[in-house]
Amino acid sequence: MKILTLETTCDETAAAVVTEELEVLGSVVASQDDLHRRFRGVVPEIASRAHVERILPVIDETLKQAGLSLGDLDAVAVANTPGLAGSLLVGLVAAKSLCVALGVPLIAVNHLQAHIYACRLAARKDVFPCVGLIISGGHTSLYRCGGPLEFELLGATIDDAAGEAFDKVAGMLGLAYPGGPSIQKAAEDGDPQAYRFPRALVKDRHRLDFSFSGLKTAVRYAIAGPGRLNFEEIRLAPGQVADLAASFQEAIVDCLVDKALLALEETGLEVLCVGGGVAANARLRRRLDEEAQRRKIRLHVAPLPLCTDNAVMGAIAVERYKAGRFEELDLDVYPGVIRKTG
Ligand code: KG4
Ligand code: ZN
């Protein structure tokens, strides 16, 4: 059984072919970083237009890698939530068109669940039940994952996502977009204790939420002081940039590690899966490793190529295929961010 998976939730146009045994026969990711860099963030309209241009060549290239033609596919899967409305639509329309043309079923993929499934793929064995920590440009969330099709939201950011904070702070420090890798690099030469930035909500021992907007403001004040708005006038020495980057990164990592451990305690689970773009962060990965060893937690962090957006993680569609969970062709997109209700 061969499934074509499509991913266009944000600014990566990606396709992959995966099998029932979770083998990856082909995978292509067309990054749009170059298009969004000068805006220091993803511009939704630019993203959706770029998806339109790229989706068919990306699918062609993926099939070529896999040595397959369209007729060999048994199903088409597409991430239809969460994400940018225009971007999601491009993937969904492509997937539906292929399903109609080929007479194969359509499978819906939840992009956040797919980020966790990247850990399952890399582990090559069952990782459920587990706590899932998803840290991306749009989301920072903790889930109780009872099985590959059973996700219960435990907590989430109440303002910025961790990746968003990395991207915005990088902008303040004059570092390139995307901010995560630039801050990680700058932080290598910095002192993580140079600035004592806030760790919001960590004292709240029964709350599994995050908040990063105050941290962002604290960095801003450390750079410019309250009320001074023009970053163009500020000249930071390289050592200052390094210290600010390292101290900011340490604060984010502290919050992420702290709440992930709390979620394990609260749920009584012993397995932690971590996925999403920010899971690529070297400092976070090291801290998670240390804590896992100390506390005998089974830790699965997505491998680097599967942290940022890709279609391989859409292999979660195999689980839906096996459970017979197919969609009608009037399937819609569910854009925006997934938040806790009530
Ligand atoms: O999961 P992802 O590719 O896209 C979304 O679904 O949002 O995550 C992108 C985010 C960006 O904010 C980027 O700055 C961040 O992941 N990121 C990192 C690192 N690499 C990417 N953040 C921290 N450290 C990194 N090494
Ligand atoms: Zn993502």
**Nearest ligand, measured from the Cα of 278:** 1
> Quick check: CB of 132 below 6 Å from ligand 1?
no
226 pLDDT band (50/70/90 cuts)? confident
| H or E stretch at 6 | strand 2-7
The tally of CA atoms less than 13 A away on the side-chain side of residue 61 is 13
CA 3 to the chain's CA centroid: 22
Atom of ligand 1 nearest to the CA of 137: 7
Ligand 1, residues 308, 313, 338: which to mutate, most atoms within 8 A of Cβ?
Answer: 308
Tokens 């397995």, residue located: 271
> Any idea what the Cα angle at residue 134 is, between residues 170 and 50, rounded to 5°?
60
Structure tokens at 319: 């689980």
Mean pLDDT of the chain: 96
> Quick check: CB of 308 below 6 Å from ligand 1?
yes
pLDDT for 162 beyond 90: yes
Q: pLDDT at position 111, please?
A: 98
Q: How many angstroms does the Cα of residue 230 sit away from the middle of ligand 2?
A: 32
138: DSSP letter: S
Atom of ligand 1 nearest to the CA of 138: 7
Atom of ligand 1 nearest to the CA of 12: 3
pLDDT digits 0-9 by tens, 102-147: 999 999 999 999 999 999 999 999 999 999 999 999 999 999 999 9
Q: pLDDT at position 30, please?
A: 98
227 pLDDT band (50/70/90 cuts)? confident
Sign of CA pseudo-dihedral 36, 33, 160, 173? negative
Helix (H, G, I), strand (E, B) or coil at 149: coil
pLDDT for 230 beyond 80: no
Count CB-CB contacts under 10 A for residue 70.
14
> Any idea what the Cα angle at residue 127 is, between residues 119 and 261, rounded to 5°?
80
Count CB-CB contacts under 10 A for residue 224.
16
Determine the Cα–Cα distance for residues 89 and 334; give it in Å rounded to an integer.
10
**Nearest ligand, measured from the Cα of 179:** 1
Global pTM value: 0.96
Residue nearest to atom 14 of ligand 1 (CA): 180
Please state the rounded mean pLDDT for residues 150-175.
96
Q: pLDDT at position 341, please?
A: 67
pLDDT for 314 beyond 80: yes
Please state the rounded mean pLDDT for residues 299-319.
98
pLDDT digits 0-9 by tens, 237-261: 999 999 999 999 999 999 999 999 9
pLDDT digits 0-9 by tens, 25-78: 999 999 999 999 999 899 999 999 999 999 999 999 999 999 999 999 999 999
225 pLDDT band (50/70/90 cuts)? confident
Q: pLDDT at position 233, please?
A: 76
Please state the rounded mean pLDDT for residues 169-184.
96
pLDDT digits 0-9 by tens, 77-108: 999 999 999 999 999 999 999 999 999 999 99
Structure tokens at 260: 């992930």
Tokens 């030469």, residue located: 189
pLDDT for 298 beyond 60: yes
